Amino acid sequence: MRAVLGAVLLLLLLGVAGPSRASPDEPVGVWPLDPRPDVVRHFEPPPTPYAAGHRGVDLAGSPGQAVHAALAGTVGFAGSIGGKPVVTVLHGGRRTTYEPVVASVERGQPVAAGDVLGRLVVTDSHCFPSACLHWGLVEGEGDDRTYLDPLSLVGGGPVRLLPLWRDDPVTVRLPWSPPLWRWRRPVDWVA
């Protein structure tokens, strides 16, 4: 009996002292708009890098509103892509993107979470004629890039794999989820 009790106590202790669930991918960022904006369109990742989808989220804002860095990093791009003003901030192997935003920062400039990157404009807005910020989170480069749900940085919104399952968020462990998303998505991001 004493051995059984000892085993139970040991299991309880292991449970308490076991591996922490904390990870670097837990929400650590700040919303790029203040006050906390409404999400007017969610993340709809494309099945391949070149397929249709929505590679980020749209946050409701107003013209001229300040846009803030979600995480500390270094400005990787501040300028125009195809006529659309874009700011990108590098965070190690990942980057956050903000558009359409007229930059007040320069490439190579270090920024802290919450620092102002520029001003939201309506040109090329995903919500035209309304203003909204298209906010993206990307890992990797070129064909190896993977789009992630930026709301995971602020603890908002379920992670969705494909628009088809919009009303039924799924976990990465399901056997039929696309391999790209199954093994690249950190486990802690399971909806």
Judged by the rule CB under 5 A, the positions of this chain that interact with Zn ion are 58, 126, 134
Backbone φ, ψ for residue 82 (5° rounding): 60, 35
Q: Smallest gap, in angstroms, from Cβ of residue 149 to Zn ion?
A: 12
Q: Could you give the C-alpha distances from 135 to 59, 97, 126, 182, in angstroms and in order?
A: 7, 6, 11, 23
Q: Could you give the C-alpha distances from 153 to 2, 157, 188, in angstroms and in order?
A: 47, 10, 12
Q: Smallest gap, in angstroms, from Cβ of residue 172 to Zn ion?
A: 23
Cβ-based nearer residue to Zn ion, 53 or 158 = 53
Three-state DSSP class for 45? Answer: coil
Cβ-based nearer residue to Zn ion, 101 or 172 = 101
Cβ-based nearer residue to Zn ion, 118 or 172 = 118
Contacts of 166 (CB under 8 A, 6+ apart): 42, 44, 160
Residue entry with tokens 């309304």: 130
Cβ-based nearer residue to Zn ion, 94 or 126 = 126
CB atoms within 10 A of CB 61: 26
Q: Smallest gap, in angstroms, from Cβ of residue 138 to Zn ion?
A: 13
Cβ-based nearer residue to Zn ion, 68 or 126 = 126
Q: Smallest gap, in angstroms, from Cβ of residue 58 to Zn ion?
A: 4
